[in-house]
Chains A and B, each alone.
Chain A
Amino acid sequence: MNILDGNTFYRLSPGVRARPEKFGLLLYNSKDTNLTFIKSGSFLTIESIDSNESIDSNGSIDSKQYFLKHHCKNSYDIERIKRLLKTLIKKGLILEVRSSI
Protein backbone atom coordinates (compact mmCIF):
# COMPACT_ATOMS: atom_id res chain seq x y z
CA MET A 1 0.00 0.00 0.00
CA ASN A 2 1.23 3.51 -0.51
CA ILE A 3 0.16 7.09 -0.20
CA LEU A 4 -0.48 9.36 -3.11
CA ASP A 5 -1.65 12.38 -1.30
CA GLY A 6 -0.64 12.92 2.29
CA ASN A 7 -2.60 10.35 4.26
CA THR A 8 -4.92 8.85 1.67
CA PHE A 9 -5.00 5.18 0.67
CA TYR A 10 -7.07 3.47 -1.98
CA ARG A 11 -8.47 0.00 -1.41
CA LEU A 12 -10.69 -2.24 -3.48
CA SER A 13 -14.35 -2.02 -2.52
CA PRO A 14 -15.91 -5.13 -0.96
CA GLY A 15 -16.83 -7.61 -3.69
CA VAL A 16 -14.32 -6.21 -6.15
CA ARG A 17 -11.48 -8.44 -7.30
CA ALA A 18 -8.48 -7.43 -9.37
CA ARG A 19 -5.69 -9.12 -11.21
CA PRO A 20 -2.66 -7.83 -13.08
CA GLU A 21 -2.67 -8.13 -16.85
CA LYS A 22 -0.26 -6.99 -19.56
CA PHE A 23 -2.28 -3.84 -20.16
CA GLY A 24 -2.60 -2.95 -16.46
CA LEU A 25 -5.32 -4.15 -14.10
CA LEU A 26 -8.51 -6.08 -14.73
CA LEU A 27 -11.23 -5.45 -12.16
CA TYR A 28 -14.28 -7.64 -11.60
CA ASN A 29 -17.23 -6.55 -9.50
CA SER A 30 -19.10 -9.50 -8.02
CA LYS A 31 -22.10 -7.24 -7.32
CA ASP A 32 -22.92 -6.93 -11.02
CA THR A 33 -20.28 -9.21 -12.69
CA ASN A 34 -19.03 -6.22 -14.70
CA LEU A 35 -15.43 -5.94 -15.80
CA THR A 36 -13.28 -2.83 -15.89
CA PHE A 37 -10.10 -2.78 -17.94
CA ILE A 38 -7.61 -0.27 -16.59
CA LYS A 39 -4.91 0.44 -19.11
CA SER A 40 -2.39 1.58 -16.55
CA GLY A 41 0.59 -0.49 -17.71
CA SER A 42 2.91 -1.01 -14.79
CA PHE A 43 1.94 2.24 -13.03
CA LEU A 44 -0.56 0.57 -10.70
CA THR A 45 -0.30 -2.72 -8.83
CA ILE A 46 -2.33 -4.43 -6.14
CA GLU A 47 -0.94 -5.13 -2.72
CA SER A 48 -2.63 -7.12 0.01
CA ILE A 49 -2.46 -6.86 3.76
CA ASP A 50 -3.91 -9.26 6.30
CA SER A 51 -7.13 -8.16 7.86
CA ASN A 52 -9.54 -9.59 10.39
CA GLU A 53 -12.56 -7.71 9.15
CA SER A 54 -13.02 -8.95 5.62
CA ILE A 55 -14.17 -12.51 6.23
CA ASP A 56 -17.54 -12.17 4.59
CA SER A 57 -20.84 -13.97 5.01
CA ASN A 58 -19.71 -16.65 2.56
CA GLY A 59 -16.96 -17.56 4.98
CA SER A 60 -14.47 -16.55 2.33
CA ILE A 61 -10.97 -17.66 3.16
CA ASP A 62 -9.64 -14.48 1.65
CA SER A 63 -9.05 -12.46 4.79
CA LYS A 64 -6.95 -9.83 3.09
CA GLN A 65 -7.64 -6.27 2.06
CA TYR A 66 -6.34 -5.11 -1.27
CA PHE A 67 -4.77 -1.72 -1.84
CA LEU A 68 -3.64 0.00 -5.00
CA LYS A 69 0.02 0.84 -5.16
CA HIS A 70 1.41 3.29 -7.68
CA HIS A 71 4.85 3.29 -9.28
CA CYS A 72 4.86 6.74 -10.84
CA LYS A 73 8.18 8.47 -11.20
CA ASN A 74 7.02 12.02 -11.89
CA SER A 75 4.27 14.46 -10.98
CA TYR A 76 2.67 14.25 -14.44
CA ASP A 77 2.01 10.53 -14.05
CA ILE A 78 0.85 11.00 -10.46
CA GLU A 79 -1.76 13.50 -11.64
CA ARG A 80 -2.98 11.05 -14.28
CA ILE A 81 -3.22 8.29 -11.68
CA LYS A 82 -5.17 10.60 -9.37
CA ARG A 83 -7.72 11.29 -12.11
CA LEU A 84 -8.03 7.57 -12.74
CA LEU A 85 -8.54 6.86 -9.05
CA LYS A 86 -11.28 9.50 -8.87
CA THR A 87 -13.11 7.72 -11.69
CA LEU A 88 -12.76 4.37 -9.95
CA ILE A 89 -14.15 5.86 -6.74
CA LYS A 90 -17.09 7.29 -8.66
CA LYS A 91 -17.77 3.86 -10.14
CA GLY A 92 -17.70 2.35 -6.63
CA LEU A 93 -14.78 0.08 -7.44
CA ILE A 94 -12.35 1.47 -4.88
CA LEU A 95 -12.67 3.27 -1.56
CA GLU A 96 -10.66 6.19 -0.34
CA VAL A 97 -9.29 5.51 3.13
CA ARG A 98 -7.86 8.31 5.21
CA SER A 99 -5.22 7.28 7.69
CA SER A 100 -5.03 8.89 11.10
CA ILE A 101 -1.31 8.11 11.36
Chain B
Amino acid sequence: MKYEAAYKDLLSAPVNLTWEITKKCNLHCSHCLSAETIKHCDDELSFEQCCSFIDELYRMSVFQINFGGGEPFLREDFIDILNYTHKKGITTCVSTNGTTLNDSLAKKLTAMDLLYIQVSLDGAAAETNDRIRGKGSFDRIIKGIEHLVNHSFPNLSINTVVTAINFREILDLYELGRRYEAKTRLSRFRPSGNAKKVWEEYHLSKEQLAELSEFLSSHRDVLTGDSFFSITAQDRRDLALNMCGAARMTCSVSPDGKIYPCAFLQDDFFISGRAGRDSFESVWNNAPVFNMIRNIRVEACETCPRFNICHGGCPAVAYFLTKSLNQSDPECMLSFQEYLSQNESAGIAS
Protein backbone atom coordinates (compact mmCIF):
# COMPACT_ATOMS: atom_id res chain seq x y z
CA MET B 1 0.00 0.00 0.00
CA LYS B 2 1.51 3.26 -1.06
CA TYR B 3 0.64 6.62 -2.54
CA GLU B 4 0.97 6.85 -6.27
CA ALA B 5 -1.11 7.82 -9.22
CA ALA B 6 -3.35 4.95 -10.20
CA TYR B 7 -4.70 6.36 -13.42
CA LYS B 8 -4.42 3.13 -15.31
CA ASP B 9 -7.52 1.70 -13.65
CA LEU B 10 -10.84 2.96 -14.93
CA LEU B 11 -12.30 5.07 -12.14
CA SER B 12 -15.88 4.40 -11.08
CA ALA B 13 -16.71 8.02 -11.97
CA PRO B 14 -14.91 11.12 -13.13
CA VAL B 15 -13.07 13.10 -10.48
CA ASN B 16 -14.44 16.28 -12.01
CA LEU B 17 -16.59 17.30 -14.90
CA THR B 18 -16.49 20.46 -16.99
CA TRP B 19 -19.99 21.75 -17.60
CA GLU B 20 -20.66 24.62 -19.95
CA ILE B 21 -23.81 25.67 -18.20
CA THR B 22 -24.92 28.42 -20.60
CA LYS B 23 -24.41 29.51 -24.16
CA LYS B 24 -24.90 33.18 -23.26
CA CYS B 25 -21.78 35.30 -23.35
CA ASN B 26 -21.09 39.03 -23.33
CA LEU B 27 -17.56 38.77 -24.78
CA HIS B 28 -16.33 37.48 -28.13
CA CYS B 29 -12.86 36.17 -27.36
CA SER B 30 -10.87 35.38 -30.45
CA HIS B 31 -9.57 32.08 -29.04
CA CYS B 32 -12.82 30.85 -27.45
CA LEU B 33 -12.81 27.11 -27.03
CA SER B 34 -16.60 26.87 -26.85
CA ALA B 35 -17.73 29.33 -29.51
CA GLU B 36 -18.49 26.72 -32.18
CA THR B 37 -20.28 24.29 -29.87
CA ILE B 38 -22.37 27.08 -28.44
CA LYS B 39 -23.33 28.36 -31.88
CA HIS B 40 -24.81 24.98 -32.78
CA CYS B 41 -26.33 24.31 -29.37
CA ASP B 42 -29.99 23.40 -28.81
CA ASP B 43 -31.85 24.81 -25.81
CA GLU B 44 -29.96 24.88 -22.51
CA LEU B 45 -30.87 22.27 -19.92
CA SER B 46 -33.62 23.56 -17.62
CA PHE B 47 -33.00 24.09 -13.90
CA GLU B 48 -34.87 20.85 -13.15
CA GLN B 49 -32.77 18.94 -15.69
CA CYS B 50 -29.60 20.44 -14.20
CA CYS B 51 -30.63 19.35 -10.69
CA SER B 52 -31.46 15.88 -11.88
CA PHE B 53 -28.04 15.60 -13.55
CA ILE B 54 -26.33 16.88 -10.38
CA ASP B 55 -28.24 14.19 -8.43
CA GLU B 56 -26.74 11.61 -10.77
CA LEU B 57 -23.23 12.99 -10.29
CA TYR B 58 -23.77 12.97 -6.53
CA ARG B 59 -24.83 9.30 -6.61
CA MET B 60 -21.65 8.47 -8.50
CA SER B 61 -19.52 10.46 -6.01
CA VAL B 62 -18.17 12.94 -8.54
CA PHE B 63 -16.08 15.30 -6.42
CA GLN B 64 -16.04 18.51 -8.42
CA ILE B 65 -17.90 20.32 -11.18
CA ASN B 66 -16.08 22.99 -13.19
CA PHE B 67 -18.72 25.37 -14.48
CA GLY B 68 -17.99 27.41 -17.57
CA GLY B 69 -19.84 28.60 -20.61
CA GLY B 70 -20.47 31.07 -22.18
CA GLU B 71 -20.38 33.26 -19.15
CA PRO B 72 -21.98 31.27 -16.31
CA PHE B 73 -23.10 34.30 -14.31
CA LEU B 74 -25.30 35.38 -17.23
CA ARG B 75 -27.52 32.39 -16.59
CA GLU B 76 -30.28 33.70 -14.32
CA ASP B 77 -30.59 30.60 -12.15
CA PHE B 78 -26.83 29.99 -11.88
CA ILE B 79 -26.62 30.88 -8.18
CA ASP B 80 -29.42 28.40 -7.51
CA ILE B 81 -27.50 25.75 -9.47
CA LEU B 82 -24.37 26.48 -7.42
CA ASN B 83 -26.32 26.27 -4.16
CA TYR B 84 -27.89 22.99 -5.21
CA THR B 85 -24.49 21.54 -6.12
CA HIS B 86 -22.93 22.63 -2.82
CA LYS B 87 -25.83 21.14 -0.86
CA LYS B 88 -24.84 17.81 -2.37
CA GLY B 89 -21.32 18.35 -1.01
CA ILE B 90 -19.85 18.73 -4.51
CA THR B 91 -17.08 21.31 -4.89
CA THR B 92 -17.44 23.78 -7.75
CA CYS B 93 -14.97 25.81 -9.74
CA VAL B 94 -16.46 28.58 -11.84
CA SER B 95 -14.59 29.88 -14.84
CA THR B 96 -15.80 33.43 -15.46
CA ASN B 97 -14.75 36.36 -17.59
CA GLY B 98 -15.22 38.49 -14.46
CA THR B 99 -17.13 41.28 -16.18
CA THR B 100 -20.45 40.55 -14.47
CA LEU B 101 -19.05 40.44 -10.94
CA ASN B 102 -20.28 43.22 -8.69
CA ASP B 103 -20.22 43.93 -4.98
CA SER B 104 -23.38 42.06 -4.03
CA LEU B 105 -22.57 39.02 -6.17
CA ALA B 106 -19.02 38.91 -4.75
CA LYS B 107 -20.48 38.96 -1.23
CA LYS B 108 -22.82 36.08 -2.04
CA LEU B 109 -20.02 34.04 -3.59
CA THR B 110 -17.68 34.61 -0.66
CA ALA B 111 -20.23 32.93 1.61
CA MET B 112 -19.98 29.68 -0.40
CA ASP B 113 -17.38 27.40 1.20
CA LEU B 114 -17.11 24.89 -1.62
CA LEU B 115 -16.57 27.42 -4.39
CA TYR B 116 -13.42 28.18 -6.37
CA ILE B 117 -13.39 30.95 -8.96
CA GLN B 118 -11.01 31.43 -11.84
CA VAL B 119 -11.20 34.71 -13.68
CA SER B 120 -9.89 34.77 -17.24
CA LEU B 121 -7.40 37.49 -18.09
CA ASP B 122 -5.27 37.27 -21.21
CA GLY B 123 -2.74 40.01 -20.72
CA ALA B 124 -1.11 42.08 -17.98
CA ALA B 125 -1.49 45.11 -20.23
CA ALA B 126 -4.95 46.28 -21.28
CA GLU B 127 -3.93 46.43 -24.93
CA THR B 128 -2.81 42.80 -24.98
CA ASN B 129 -5.84 41.45 -23.15
CA ASP B 130 -8.29 43.53 -25.17
CA ARG B 131 -6.81 42.32 -28.44
CA ILE B 132 -7.88 38.81 -27.45
CA ARG B 133 -10.95 39.35 -25.25
CA GLY B 134 -12.38 42.55 -26.72
CA LYS B 135 -12.07 46.29 -26.30
CA GLY B 136 -12.55 47.58 -22.76
CA SER B 137 -12.62 44.09 -21.25
CA PHE B 138 -9.36 44.49 -19.26
CA ASP B 139 -10.75 47.23 -17.02
CA ARG B 140 -14.00 45.34 -16.46
CA ILE B 141 -12.15 42.13 -15.61
CA ILE B 142 -9.87 43.89 -13.12
CA LYS B 143 -12.93 45.51 -11.48
CA GLY B 144 -14.49 42.07 -11.17
CA ILE B 145 -11.34 40.67 -9.55
CA GLU B 146 -11.28 43.62 -7.15
CA HIS B 147 -14.88 42.98 -6.06
CA LEU B 148 -13.86 39.46 -5.04
CA VAL B 149 -10.66 40.67 -3.37
CA ASN B 150 -12.59 43.37 -1.43
CA HIS B 151 -14.68 40.59 0.09
CA SER B 152 -11.58 38.45 0.74
CA PHE B 153 -12.84 35.69 -1.50
CA PRO B 154 -10.43 32.90 -0.56
CA ASN B 155 -10.20 30.57 -3.57
CA LEU B 156 -9.39 32.90 -6.41
CA SER B 157 -7.18 32.22 -9.39
CA ILE B 158 -6.46 34.29 -12.47
CA ASN B 159 -6.34 32.17 -15.58
CA THR B 160 -4.41 33.00 -18.72
CA VAL B 161 -4.42 31.05 -21.96
CA VAL B 162 -0.79 31.33 -22.99
CA THR B 163 -0.45 32.54 -26.57
CA ALA B 164 2.22 34.21 -28.67
CA ILE B 165 0.27 37.45 -28.10
CA ASN B 166 0.63 37.50 -24.30
CA PHE B 167 3.72 35.32 -23.88
CA ARG B 168 6.01 38.20 -22.87
CA GLU B 169 3.60 39.18 -20.06
CA ILE B 170 3.50 35.91 -18.16
CA LEU B 171 5.76 37.17 -15.39
CA ASP B 172 3.73 40.39 -15.12
CA LEU B 173 0.53 38.33 -14.92
CA TYR B 174 2.11 36.25 -12.18
CA GLU B 175 2.98 39.42 -10.25
CA LEU B 176 -0.48 40.86 -10.83
CA GLY B 177 -1.91 37.67 -9.31
CA ARG B 178 0.36 38.02 -6.28
CA ARG B 179 -0.78 41.63 -5.75
CA TYR B 180 -4.36 40.36 -5.49
CA GLU B 181 -3.32 37.30 -3.46
CA ALA B 182 -4.75 35.19 -6.25
CA LYS B 183 -3.15 32.08 -7.67
CA THR B 184 -1.88 32.23 -11.23
CA ARG B 185 -3.20 29.55 -13.54
CA LEU B 186 -1.75 29.09 -16.99
CA SER B 187 -3.71 27.17 -19.59
CA ARG B 188 -2.59 25.71 -22.83
CA PHE B 189 -3.78 27.26 -26.08
CA ARG B 190 -5.28 24.37 -28.05
CA PRO B 191 -6.71 24.39 -31.57
CA SER B 192 -10.35 23.76 -30.55
CA GLY B 193 -13.37 25.97 -31.28
CA ASN B 194 -12.50 29.49 -32.45
CA ALA B 195 -8.87 28.81 -31.61
CA LYS B 196 -8.56 26.88 -34.87
CA LYS B 197 -9.05 30.15 -36.75
CA VAL B 198 -6.23 31.97 -34.95
CA TRP B 199 -3.93 29.00 -34.41
CA GLU B 200 -1.21 30.18 -36.78
CA GLU B 201 -1.08 33.62 -35.20
CA TYR B 202 -1.46 32.60 -31.55
CA HIS B 203 0.34 29.30 -31.00
CA LEU B 204 3.69 29.33 -29.24
CA SER B 205 6.91 28.82 -31.13
CA LYS B 206 9.25 26.01 -30.09
CA GLU B 207 11.53 28.57 -28.42
CA GLN B 208 8.57 29.95 -26.44
CA LEU B 209 7.48 26.45 -25.40
CA ALA B 210 11.00 25.80 -24.10
CA GLU B 211 10.96 29.09 -22.20
CA LEU B 212 7.52 28.36 -20.78
CA SER B 213 8.69 24.97 -19.57
CA GLU B 214 11.56 26.67 -17.72
CA PHE B 215 9.21 29.31 -16.28
CA LEU B 216 6.94 26.59 -14.91
CA SER B 217 9.89 24.81 -13.33
CA SER B 218 10.98 27.97 -11.55
CA HIS B 219 7.42 28.92 -10.46
CA ARG B 220 6.06 25.82 -8.79
CA ASP B 221 3.11 27.74 -7.34
CA VAL B 222 1.68 28.37 -10.81
CA LEU B 223 -1.30 26.12 -11.44
CA THR B 224 -1.54 24.31 -14.75
CA GLY B 225 -4.16 21.59 -14.18
CA ASP B 226 -4.10 19.28 -17.16
CA SER B 227 -2.55 21.79 -19.52
CA PHE B 228 1.15 21.33 -19.83
CA PHE B 229 2.05 17.71 -19.14
CA SER B 230 3.53 17.49 -22.65
CA ILE B 231 6.16 20.09 -21.73
CA THR B 232 6.42 19.44 -18.00
CA ALA B 233 9.94 18.95 -16.76
CA GLN B 234 10.72 16.15 -14.33
CA ASP B 235 10.82 18.61 -11.42
CA ARG B 236 7.11 19.50 -11.80
CA ARG B 237 5.70 16.08 -12.46
CA ASP B 238 4.24 15.80 -8.97
CA LEU B 239 2.31 19.07 -9.33
CA ALA B 240 -0.25 18.25 -12.00
CA LEU B 241 -1.59 15.48 -14.19
CA ASN B 242 1.04 13.53 -16.09
CA MET B 243 -1.29 12.25 -18.75
CA CYS B 244 -4.47 13.06 -20.58
CA GLY B 245 -7.45 12.89 -18.21
CA ALA B 246 -10.12 12.72 -20.92
CA ALA B 247 -12.63 9.95 -20.15
CA ARG B 248 -10.34 8.78 -17.35
CA MET B 249 -10.51 11.56 -14.78
CA THR B 250 -12.85 14.04 -16.41
CA CYS B 251 -15.32 14.69 -19.20
CA SER B 252 -17.36 17.59 -20.48
CA VAL B 253 -21.00 18.60 -20.93
CA SER B 254 -22.32 21.31 -23.27
CA PRO B 255 -25.18 23.71 -22.37
CA ASP B 256 -27.71 21.44 -24.10
CA GLY B 257 -26.38 18.35 -22.32
CA LYS B 258 -24.14 16.75 -24.94
CA ILE B 259 -21.45 14.70 -23.23
CA TYR B 260 -17.89 14.73 -24.58
CA PRO B 261 -14.73 13.03 -23.26
CA CYS B 262 -13.07 16.41 -22.78
CA ALA B 263 -13.83 20.11 -23.19
CA PHE B 264 -11.16 20.24 -25.90
CA LEU B 265 -12.73 17.42 -27.92
CA GLN B 266 -16.03 19.14 -28.66
CA ASP B 267 -16.52 17.82 -32.14
CA ASP B 268 -19.63 15.94 -33.31
CA PHE B 269 -17.54 12.82 -33.71
CA PHE B 270 -16.96 12.72 -29.92
CA ILE B 271 -20.56 13.15 -28.72
CA SER B 272 -21.01 10.23 -26.33
CA GLY B 273 -24.44 10.78 -24.84
CA ARG B 274 -26.83 13.39 -23.57
CA ALA B 275 -27.40 14.52 -19.98
CA GLY B 276 -31.10 14.40 -19.20
CA ARG B 277 -31.69 11.63 -21.74
CA ASP B 278 -29.00 9.02 -21.12
CA SER B 279 -27.74 7.52 -17.89
CA PHE B 280 -24.46 9.27 -17.15
CA GLU B 281 -23.15 6.20 -15.36
CA SER B 282 -23.74 4.18 -18.50
CA VAL B 283 -22.03 6.80 -20.68
CA TRP B 284 -19.02 6.84 -18.35
CA ASN B 285 -18.70 3.07 -18.26
CA ASN B 286 -19.75 2.06 -21.76
CA ALA B 287 -19.73 4.87 -24.32
CA PRO B 288 -17.71 3.61 -27.32
CA VAL B 289 -16.06 7.01 -27.77
CA PHE B 290 -14.94 7.05 -24.13
CA ASN B 291 -13.50 3.55 -24.48
CA MET B 292 -11.75 4.55 -27.68
CA ILE B 293 -10.11 7.53 -25.95
CA ARG B 294 -9.06 5.30 -23.04
CA ASN B 295 -7.44 2.88 -25.45
CA ILE B 296 -5.45 5.40 -27.45
CA ARG B 297 -1.91 4.14 -27.93
CA VAL B 298 0.61 6.61 -29.19
CA GLU B 299 3.04 3.95 -30.32
CA ALA B 300 5.58 6.45 -31.60
CA CYS B 301 5.99 7.70 -28.04
CA GLU B 302 6.21 4.43 -26.17
CA THR B 303 9.96 4.13 -26.39
CA CYS B 304 10.50 7.79 -25.49
CA PRO B 305 12.34 8.41 -22.18
CA ARG B 306 9.63 10.95 -21.30
CA PHE B 307 6.73 8.55 -21.87
CA ASN B 308 5.97 8.17 -18.16
CA ILE B 309 5.81 11.95 -17.80
CA CYS B 310 3.36 12.73 -20.60
CA HIS B 311 2.07 9.44 -22.12
CA GLY B 312 2.02 10.93 -25.60
CA GLY B 313 0.56 14.32 -24.70
CA CYS B 314 -2.81 15.84 -25.53
CA PRO B 315 -4.91 13.85 -28.04
CA ALA B 316 -7.07 16.93 -28.74
CA VAL B 317 -4.09 18.89 -30.05
CA ALA B 318 -2.97 15.88 -32.09
CA TYR B 319 -6.51 15.36 -33.44
CA PHE B 320 -7.10 18.94 -34.56
CA LEU B 321 -3.63 19.37 -36.04
CA THR B 322 -3.06 15.94 -37.58
CA LYS B 323 -6.61 14.51 -37.81
CA SER B 324 -5.44 11.48 -35.87
CA LEU B 325 -5.75 10.59 -32.20
CA ASN B 326 -2.83 8.19 -32.27
CA GLN B 327 -0.23 10.80 -33.09
CA SER B 328 2.31 12.32 -30.73
CA ASP B 329 1.41 15.70 -29.36
CA PRO B 330 2.92 18.10 -31.94
CA GLU B 331 4.03 20.41 -29.10
CA CYS B 332 5.92 17.71 -27.29
CA MET B 333 8.88 18.80 -25.17
CA LEU B 334 11.28 16.34 -26.74
CA SER B 335 10.49 17.50 -30.27
CA PHE B 336 11.25 21.15 -29.46
CA GLN B 337 14.36 20.20 -27.49
CA GLU B 338 15.65 18.30 -30.51
CA TYR B 339 14.74 21.19 -32.79
CA LEU B 340 16.51 23.70 -30.56
CA SER B 341 19.64 21.61 -30.14
CA GLN B 342 19.84 21.05 -33.92
CA ASN B 343 19.55 24.80 -34.47
CA GLU B 344 22.14 25.44 -31.80
CA SER B 345 24.64 23.05 -33.35
CA ALA B 346 23.94 24.61 -36.77
CA GLY B 347 24.67 28.02 -35.25
CA ILE B 348 21.15 29.34 -35.79
CA ALA B 349 20.19 31.91 -33.19
CA SER B 350 16.71 31.50 -31.69
Q: Which residues of chain A have a CB within 8 Å of any CB of chain B?
A: 17, 19-24, 26, 28, 30, 33, 35-41, 43, 56-62, 80-81, 84, 87
Interface size on B, residues (CB 8 A): 26
Q: How far is the CB of A28 from chain B (nearest CB, A)?
A: 4
Pick the contact of B12: A19, A35, A62 (CB < 8 A): A19
Q: Mark B3-23, 1 if CB is under 8 A from A, else 0.
A: 111100111110100000000
Residues of A contacting B88 with CB < 8 Å?
60-62
5 new A-B contacts at CB < 8 Å, known A26-B11, A58-B89, A60-B88: A21-B11, A22-B10, A28-B15, A28-B64, A62-B89
Partner of B63, one of A20, A28, A39, A61: A28
Task: Identify which of B29-37, B38-46, B95-103, B109-117 touches chain A.
Answer: B109-117
Complex interface: chain A residues within 8 A of B4 (CB): 37, 39
Is the beta-carbon distance between A80 and B1 smaller than 8 angstroms?
A: yes
Docked-complex contact A58 and B86, CB < 8 angstroms = yes
In the bound complex, do residue A81 and residue B63 qualify as a contact, i.e. CB atoms below 8 Å apart? no
State how many angstroms separate the Cβ of B81 from the closest Cβ of chain A. 14
The distance from the CB of B274 to the nearest CB of chain A, in whole angstroms, is 25
Contact B9–A33 (Cβ < 8 Å): no
Q: Does B91 contact A (CB under 8 A)?
A: yes
Q: Which residues of B contact A62 (CB under 8 A)?
A: 88-89
Given contacts A59-B87, A61-B87, contact A23 B9 (CB under 8 A): yes
Q: Are A38 and B116 in contact (CB under 8 A)?
A: no
When distances are taken between beta carbons in the complex, the residues of chain A under 8 Å from B6 are 21, 23-24, 37, 39
8 nearest CB pairs, A to B: A28-B63, A19-B61, A58-B86, A37-B6, A23-B6, A30-B91, A62-B89, A22-B9
Give the complex CA separation of A81 and B11 in angstroms.
23
CB distance from B239 to the nearest CB of A (A): 10
Q: Which residues of A contact B179 (CB under 8 A)?
A: none
Closest to B9 in A: A22
Residues from chain B with a CB closer than 8 A to the CB of A41 are: 1
CA distance A39 to B7 in the complex (A): 11
Across-interface contacts of B15 in A (CB, < 8 A): 26, 28, 35
Q: How far is the CA of A21 from the CA of B89 in the complex (A)?
A: 19
* Residue pair A81, B89 in contact (C-beta under 8 Å): no
In the complex, which residues of chain A have a beta carbon less than 8 angstroms from the beta carbon of B93?
33
A30 vs B93: C-alpha distance when bound (angstroms): 11
Contact A33 B3 (CB under 8 A): no
